[in-house]
Amino acid sequence: MPETVTLTIDGKTITTKWGTTILQAARENGIYIPTMCYLSKVEPIGSCRMCVVEVDGVDGMILSCQEKAVDGAVIRTNSDELFAERQKIMKLYDVNHPLECGVCDKSGECDLQNKTLEFRVDRQDFSARDQHRPVKNWGFISYDPSLCIMCEKCVRTCAEIIGDDALAIETGGYKSTIVNTRDLDDCAQCGECMAVCPVGALVSTDFKYTSNAWELDYVPASCAHCSAGCQLYYNVKHSSIENPEPKIYRVTNDFEFSTLCGAGRFGYDFENRGATRNPETLAKAAEAFRKAETIRFASVLSNEEALLLSRIAEKTGAKLVCDEARGFQKFLRAYRGMSGRSLPTADLEAVRRSRVILTLGTRLYDDAPMVKFAVATASRREKAQMIYCHPIEDPRLQKQVTQFVKYEAGSEEGVAALLAATLIDRTQAPEELRKYLDGLDIGYLSAESNVSEEELDRLKLTLWKRKRFTLIVGEDLYNHPRVENIARLLAAIERYSDFELLVIPPASNTLGIASICDLADEATGYTVGVNTPGDYVLSALGDGECDLPAMNQQEGTLVNLEGRVVPTHPALPYGGWELADIARTLGMPIREIIDLTPELPTEAGFDAVEFDALPDYFDAAGVEHRGYRLARTQSEPTAVVPDEPEELESYDGTVLYRCNPDRQFSPFTAKTHQLAQEPVLRGSAQFAMAAKLRDGDRVRFTQDGIRFERVFSIDTTLKGTVAINPVFDIGLSGFALSSYRFSPVKIEKAGEADE
């Protein structure tokens, strides 16, 4: 089988990889072939026939999106016959659409509008009887079937990329329509279907009738809601009589290649409004920093801010505390000691190509939607086997999970040891590690973690004769009391097995902060709290003694879960003081926060490059992005053998699991969105019986010193005696919860506590 083929397209000789389609080969070489249904990130759909081309020696026209390029082929993408064919297709598409369209929300960025003009459709030769097709409201998404051209992009994206299969075609000839096969509670509400829609059939319910596309400015940024750091565009309309202040109207993405989750697309309403540059406020903030013994912050801030906080701490003698980043930092340092690698090996493309995916310590759908989407793609395209290890089963992953391994809360170290004994290739491992593995008490670990040896045997069978393995781990592990030994066990698996390791940081820039800052374990003494409660509170939410800009109001860089340094830009103005202003008041020579971009520590893998000179990189799909990847280094490991697992702690009674739902749409809570989810304590009927609760009871409990009041709701999709508690309603204070995510708590009914 040849590695490359050479062919001629429109007189241009080109060479491309074997297996590339004619359409892909043409696009790689800047040759235009029109399409309506083609989408680079899904398999060819072949419903529009706009991409037809002529091939010498072949009768008729062929679909370039599906036909592979062959050696020696001579292809024409333009001729009078091809133009006439495409014009007919456009006339059929335009049956439902006015030829001089100017009222649809898609106007100005409509593919149908563009192709109608391109193929000079100035009169309509076809007609069809109108059908009654009422507009349907799917939560954040509105569907107008009278505008739908049945290109199937939305259906394919939902199935292949999101993995939900929430959309389907209800066939009926001219009456065919798209239907939502799920209850709204089961739909991811990611909005990716409306992003890929080439016409105005699927649009944002909130954006509808509010603005024309050409009235908006598109500000490139990186999403701050999780560690994926997805690239997006804030769509901003500037001052007018009706709207005196700039406002974000919506969020878009380069949907041809990239994807956004619901939080990234709809959770943009979190800017710090109303901040002012009051000199007295600045003086008080500077004085608070001067006498602070602890600077406490959340990892929803830029690399440059993290570096500046480190320098302020050096100047004043304060220590830095970032609760969720500290646990992750411990994990990362122990991993490096055992593996010798500066960062784990896997990225999202590795997940998409995997044949076996094993997860540990993450409620994947909620913690990292983009990783879940990558798993869905692997499941669809590679028929990947997914082994989901967690104390709580997640029915939303039922289309991807082939084996659910339920372990007891708190037993992650034991489970990691069992996985090490199961997955590590003894022929690759050094003698000391082989002895360690042979000495593990598998029976005890299995009994205490509730992971049977039969389940481990089934896992082994799944690996047989398969290639491309990925191990995904997450937030449950980082604040576990034995986090460092868990990291060593996972590093050993990565080093001495065929598994690549993907580590999901718990917040938007946790990896950047863990790489830059020297963090302490806990706050002591007088504390300056950045976005968290303290003796002196600074807040990006506008509720502190000194305001700071939110992530959609500032410029800087973040490090995403793939170890890529990505830039973000301000979409909205900010009228208050910034951290750089406080630093100047403390006598530090800094003008703008991005002055620190070239000073980010090179020993941590950063490049010494100016913010405005950040290089471009190409992802696995060949798409160009701004930023760079942290330098990977390999050194001699300082540890060869993990520690022995300690006796497993048991979690009895009422146990809560701290986890924000995937559809919270913002870690700060969407302030104005009518569909923003209310925080509810969710548990199974079994949990309700154990806690003596009924559906609808108002309850109170304390976690990490924070008092919660919740309505309890019985969730029929949950099993067992662990309930799920969200923390998105307490803003960035949620990141101050430093304990392990599972915790036994005493739950009181609100009425009983008041008596």
Q: Does domain 4-78 have CATH number 3.90.420.10?
A: no
Q: What is the DSSP string of 182-244?
A: S-GGGS----HHHHH-SSSSEEETTTTTT--GGG-EEEEEE--SSTT--EEEEEEE---SS--
Give the separation between CA 593 and CA 573, rounded to whole angstroms. 15
The tokens for 53 are 């081309």
Give the separation between CA 152 and CA 35, rounded to whole angstroms. 13
Task: Answer whether residue 317 shows pLDDT above 60.
Answer: yes
Give the separation between CA 364 and CA 348, rounded to whole angstroms. 14
Report the chain's mean pLDDT, rounded to a whole number.
90
Q: What is the DSSP string of 542-569?
A: S-SSEE---GGG--EEEE-TTSEEEEE-
The pLDDT assigned to 728 comes to: 82
The tokens for 734 are 């949620």
CA distances from 475 to 228, 505, 508, 653, 717 (A): 14, 7, 13, 23, 22
The amino acid at residue 724 is: I
The pLDDT assigned to 374 comes to: 96
Q: DSSP character for 106?
A: T
The tokens for 119 are 């193929």
Give the separation between CA 323 and CA 483, rounded to whole angstroms. 14
Q: Domain segments of the chain: what residues?
A: 4-78, 126-266, 279-326+510-629, 327-503, 655-754
Closest CA to 90 of 115, 65, 108: 115
Q: Which class is domain 655-754? A: mainly beta
Residue for token digits 């620190």? 596
Give the separation between CA 542 and CA 535, rounded to whole angstroms. 16
The amino acid at residue 108 is: G
Do 4-78 and 327-503 have matching folds? no
CA distances from 10 to 73, 115, 253, 279 (A): 11, 21, 32, 67
- The string of pLDDT tens digits covering residues 326-354 is 999 999 999 999 999 999 999 999 999 99
Residue environment code for 66-95, b if the CB has 16+ CB neighbours within 10 A, otherwise e: ebebeeebebebeeeebeebbbebbbebbe
- The string of pLDDT tens digits covering residues 544-582 is 778 889 999 999 999 999 999 999 999 999 999 999 999
The pLDDT assigned to 675 comes to: 39
Q: Does domain 126-266 have CATH number 3.30.70.20?
A: yes
- The string of pLDDT tens digits covering residues 72-97 is 999 999 999 999 999 999 998 888 77
Q: Does domain 327-503 have CATH number 3.40.228.10?
A: yes
For the segment 656-684, the average pLDDT, to the nearest whole number, is: 65
Alpha helices (H) in 292-345, listed in sequence order:
303-316, 323-339
Q: What is the DSSP string of 292-305?
A: -SEEEE-S-S-HHH
The pLDDT assigned to 88 comes to: 93
The amino acid at residue 363 is: R
